[in-house]
Amino acid sequence: MRPIAIVGAGMMGNVHARSYRTIDETSPLSIVDPVGSRAKVISDKYRAIAASFDEILADDEIEIVDICTPTFTHRDLVVRALEAGKHVFCEKPVALKIEDAVAMDKAAKKSGRVFMVGHVVRFFPQYIKVRELASSGDVGEIVMARLYRGGSFPSHGIDNWFADITKSGGVFIDLSIHDFDFLRKLLGPVRTVEARSVELSSTVKKHSFDHGMAILRFESGALAHIEGSWAEPADMPVGFGTSYEFIGTKGMITNSYERETTLRLQTSIDGKPLYSQENPILNDPYTEELKSFILSIEEGKEVPVSCEEATESLRVALAANLSARLLRPVELSEVS
């Protein structure tokens, strides 16, 4: 594997360092974080060299930079890394504003380097399976969907940055964007969003443990209901969970973290009812995601998650925030 520098030694920096070491035990890995104790955890555990951002940009040996910092820092760090000639991976959400995401995309195109955004849900086996079942036609055309993603508030963030909506974007932009992105990939462009959030739709501010609900109407006519939560109590036996229902013209696919056997398919093939259930085999999705990024560099292939796609997923999340604030449906064309 080519030499890589991870920027940000928090939760995701640790997850990515573990994945790179799974892919290659020995290749050079650098870690950048202004908090020395955080960088040291990764240096010690994953044999990484601590360095400054300027040092890694100036180091011609380092070809790949992986941005795992709080969202409000993404634009600046991504653009600087691309301008220094690095291939760049950036954690989701790509940015907090459309103009920032557009600037990042422009910088990537100008540099000619590979730029990928970490919409990791596309690499989770139970979501891969939905796309396979949808394209095989086994459930017919998907016309409705209901997705949940939630847990307790992410209090691990440095300086509590998740609690500041100007830094994290809140529950829709930070969390539900995973589902918005997956749904766009599955069902195509979104036309309108109607959303509410405890934080944004209330006149009493500063709940901080937000919970949001959004209804997406797609250009295809499909409808999806998405719930995202940071409101579950902390330190519960199950800290985080996801579930979904996809309803097609011929059948349905369901999945829930609350059941032992997670994925169920109910449909009919050639007029015969079919019921099946399975636990899709778990290849670590973060490792699969980063492998696909490296493969795009090695083989000159398109990245599986482009900046344009990540920008459109951000637009849906921004529409949800706007709708929750204005208490009315928002057209995607209103968000620029």
Ligand X SMILES: NC(=O)c1ccc[n+]([C@@H]2O[C@H](COP(=O)([O-])OP(=O)(O)OC[C@H]3O[C@@H](n4cnc5c(N)ncnc54)[C@H](O)[C@@H]3O)[C@@H](O)[C@H]2O)c1
Binding site for ligand X (CB under 6 A): 7-13, 32-35, 38, 53, 68-71, 73, 91-92, 118, 120, 156-158, 174
* Burial of 209 from C-beta contacts in 10 A (0-12 / 13-18 / 19+): middle
User: In terms of CB distance, is 13 or 212 closer to ligand X?
Assistant: 13
Q: Which is nearer to ligand X, 161 or 250 (CB)?
A: 161
The CB-of-12 to ligand X minimum distance in angstroms stands at 4
Three-state SS at 70: coil
- Residue closest to ligand X, measured at CB: 10
Of 70 and 251, nearer to ligand X (C-beta) is 70
The Cα–Cα gap between 174 and 153 comes to 11
Region label for 169, one of left (φ > 0), alpha (ψ between -120 and 50) or beta (otherwise)? left
Decide the pairing of beta strands 115-118 and 240-248.
unpaired
CB of 75 to ligand X, least distance (A): 11
Cβ nearer to ligand X, comparing 40 with 47: 40
Integer angstrom CA distances of residue 196 from 164, 317, 324, 325: 18, 12, 4, 8
Minimum distance of ligand X from residue 124's CB (angstroms): 10
Q: Which is nearer to ligand X, 53 or 148 (CB)?
A: 53
Amino acid at 154: P
**CA nearest to 147, candidates 221, 261, 246, 238:** 246
Residue 154 or 329 having the CB closest to ligand X:
154
Minimum distance, C-beta of residue 104 to ligand X, in the bound complex (Å):
13
Minimal distance in Å, beta carbon 220 to ligand X? 27
How far apart are CB 88 and ligand X at their closest, in Å? 14
Give φ, ψ of 327 to 5 degrees. 60, 40
Min dist CB 44 to ligand X, Å, is 15
Distance CA 35, CA 8 (A): 9
Which residue number, 65 or 335, has a Cβ lying nearer to ligand X? 65
CA distance to 41, 63, 78, 140, per residue, from 75 (Å): 26, 19, 5, 40
